[in-house]
Amino acid sequence: MSDVIKDLSELRLSYEQGELHEAQISDHPHLQFLNWFNHALAAHLHEPYTMSLATANAQGRPHVRTVLLRGATEAGYDFYTNYDSQKGIDLAENPFAELLFYWPSLERQVRISGQVIKISEHESTEYYLKRPRDSQIAAHISTPQSGRIASREELQQRFYDLQQQVGEHGELTKPDFWGGYRLIADYYEFWQGRPNRLHDRLSYEKQDGQWVIQRLMP
């Protein structure tokens, strides 16, 4: 097998699924997001609630990963994780982050930026108790998240041991090191692919408490 990537310059598509005009969008970016998100749900896309989460530590080194959107209101966009994960460490040092939703079959993407806060213990507990039981167990044993482990077998043994300890109906409480975050948006960008790379890009930026819409160069 060759260790050289072939020339990729000819691998390209023409984006022709839709358009994005100022006259067609909502004055409020969250409503515009819900419009596109509900369209993605109705199209039965594979996990349209997945999003890339970009954080950076105090030194400015970025980290990006895929997480699941678990709440979307005008107040913000929620996801859950281990507070001791790289995400949690970054957000403790630098509380700003960005989300990216990409729906390739619709030729659309949405960027949402802002400050991230922890959600309340009550909300985190409420969500934790709604999770499938095995996911509750996984939250307990997968710590420290991103920490090194000797083998897959060790991870599976930890899971099995706790599974046997609590049984089918034993109570599991939310771990103290696990919970939710909420990104409070101050910037949105909606991207619609167009032919000839003349893509539509519209941004919403908060200025003096008002959302200002601007068209961006592709």
Annotated binding site for substrate: 12-15, 70, 127, 131, 135, 197-199
Binding site for FMN, by residue number, is 65-70, 80-81, 87, 109, 145-146, 191, 201
Catalytic residue among 108, 148, 197, 215: 197
Distance in angstroms (rounded) separating the CA atoms of residues 40 and 46: 9
Q: Is 182 helix (H, G, I), strand (E, B) or coil?
A: strand
* Complete DSSP assignment for 59-115: T--EEEEEEE--EEETTEEEEEEETTSHHHHHHHH--EEEEEEEEGGGTEEEEEEEE
- Reference 124, options 86, 48, 71; nearest CA is 71
**How far is Cα 154 from Cα 194, in angstroms, rounded to an integer?**
49
39-42 contacts, C-beta under 8 A, 24 or more apart: 39/106, 40/101, 40/103, 40/106, 40/108
Q: How many CB atoms lie within 10 A of CB 136?
A: 19
Establish whether 194 is a catalytic residue: no
SS3 of 175, please?
coil
Instruction: Output the known binding site.
Output: 12-15, 65-70, 80-81, 87, 109, 127, 131, 135, 145-146, 191, 197-199, 201
**CA distances in angstroms from 44 to 37, 41, 49, listed in the order given:** 11, 5, 11
Which residues are tagged catalytic? 197
